Amino acid sequence: MTMSESMGQPAAACDPAQTRHPLELIPIFRRWPRSFLRDLVYTGIWNTLLAMLFTGLALVFDVRVPVLDLFRMNFVFAQCLGYPIYGMFLLGDQLFPGIHRRSILVRTIYYVTLPVLGVFAGYVLGALIIGLPEFRGWMLTARGITSVLALSLVITAILLMIFVPRERAARAEAAMAREQARLAASERETTQARMQLLEAQIEPHFLYNTMAHVVSLIDTDPDTAKGMLERLIALLRSSASAGNGGGTLQAQADHLRAYLDLLVLRMGPRLAWTIDVPPDLARLPLPPMLLQPVVENAIKHGLEPKVDGGKVALVARRDAGRLVLTVTDTGMGFRERRTTNSTGLGLANLRARLAALYGNAATVTIEDNVPAGARVTIALPLPLPGAPQ
């Protein structure tokens, strides 16, 4: 903390950790927001407390002066000393904006010099107000100069005793906050890298099943086998693009189209699908591996258990400053899925990922669709912080 804080220096003049008034040590004084006028008032209160302190010290040393007269004189001098010191530091911080980040020697000289100047000016002003013309002559004597220097050092020591521990605590808190922010950023980067790796991979069982299906069709239905190979190539290409940073809504939609085309070739008329992504949303960045687990879950646990299959649809829209992605199916329904072998792990992982990336700003809603099936709605804040560009 700096000496100028003790006199109510504006926040812009020094570091954030050095912008509190000494009166804020008392909880009630923390209620009012910081302002220039507030600091002027606080400085007057602070000066009054110093006047009370010096009056008490004078009484301890048995000064033969009535208490009220002694306090009145100390009050006048405290205000005349405090506000010039405040002005000195206010001006000094404007002329030397980086002074509070200099070496301890430079800062000590700064902290001592300005109070000395302020005390000399305050003594002259106080003598004029109280009516002690001889006091100004006394200040120029060796004893007077020694007294002024001693008082300046006492004021400096009091302020340093208050602010040095607070400065250390503030620096420790700032260091802890930076470390927490670094860890959070590292966790987000790790999560994104893991999800990019996941999207760059095709589920082995899906790949094996597709290739086996292609082999079985080469002799009996070569056109269908060729179509499956073409869609598999498109799926692999979109996965590679995603792994190289192609994390946009359009890229994930293209990936899903290739994936669903392959499933249609396997499931036949039991699977129908639609993807609706408006052009103005297509280039929005999107966390990798966000939509495919939802679509896979809809097909595996919603449509495949039904004899006649059904339809899955993805719709993207902008709503009240958010990107809303909705995956609906006409399958078993969310309540009935819980009676099957669905563990819900995929959707739980989805919630955890979104919480890590967006905190409470992202939501996932799962509900039954009407007249049949389930609906999963993902709402993300716009713009999308933390998503790969």
pLDDT digit string, tens, across residues 52-74: 988 888 787 766 778 888 888 88
Structure confidence at residue 7 (pLDDT): 38
Last residue of a domain, one of 186, 208, 227: 186
If one compares 189 and 266, the residue with the highest pLDDT of the two is 266
Q: Is residue 61 part of a domain?
A: yes
162 with 216, same domain: the answer is no
pLDDT at 81 over 80: yes
116-135 pLDDT tens trace = 888 888 888 888 888 777 76
How many structural domains is the chain composed of?
2
d(CA 235, CA 246): 14
In this structure, the answer to whether residues 128 and 211 fall within a common structural domain is no
pLDDT at 278: 94
Dig out the tokens for 155 from the structure: 């004021």
CATH code assigned at 255: 3.30.565.10
209 and 331 fall within a common domain: yes
- pLDDT tens digits, residue range 299-342? 988 898 888 889 999 999 999 889 999 999 998 877 655 555 55
Lowest-confidence segment of 121-125, 139-143, 303-307, 371-375 by average pLDDT: 139-143
Strands 271-276 and 322-329 turn out to be unpaired
Confidence of residue 29 (pLDDT cuts 50, 70, 90): confident
Question: What does the pLDDT read at residue 62?
Answer: 66
11 and 53 both lie in a single domain: yes
Whether 144 and 228 map to the same domain: the answer is: no
Between residues 362 and 131, which one has the greater pLDDT? Answer: 362
The CA distance from 47 to 82, in Å, is 6
pLDDT in tens, 207-220: 767 778 788 888 88
Q: Which position has the higher pLDDT, 285 or 104? A: 285
Do 210 and 343 share a domain, yes or no? Answer: yes
Non-local CB neighbours of 190 within 8 Å, separated by 6+ positions? none
Q: Are residues 360 and 273 in the same domain?
A: yes
φ, ψ (nearest 5 deg) of residue 82: -65, -50
pLDDT value, residue 387? 45
Q: Tell whether the model's pLDDT for residue 355 goes beyond 80.
A: yes
Say whether both 23 and 70 belong to one domain. Answer: yes
> Residue 311: in which H helix or E strand, if any?
strand 310-319
Domain endpoint, select from 126, 155, 186: 186
Q: How far is CA 202 from the centre of its chain?
A: 35
Same-domain pairing of 52 and 171: yes
What are the pLDDT digits (tens) for 156-184?
777 667 666 766 776 788 888 888 888 77
Residue 354: pLDDT over 90: no
Task: Please indicate, yes or no, if residue 388 is contained in any of the structural domains.
Answer: no
Based on the fold, state whether residues 45 and 172 are members of the same structural domain: yes
Q: Which residue, chain included where needed, has tokens 């966000």?
A: 290
Q: Look at residue 166 in the predicted model and tell me its pLDDT.
A: 66
Whether 53 maps to a domain, the answer reads yes
Same domain, 142 and 218: no
Q: Is residue 267 part of a domain?
A: yes
Q: How much of the chain exceeds pLDDT 90, in percent? A: 13
The range of the structural domain enclosing residue 120 comes to 3-186
Residue 95 lies in a domain: yes
Instruction: Clarify whether residues 22 and 80 are in a common domain.
Output: yes
Inside any domain, residue 195? no
Domain boundary among 139, 162, 186: 186
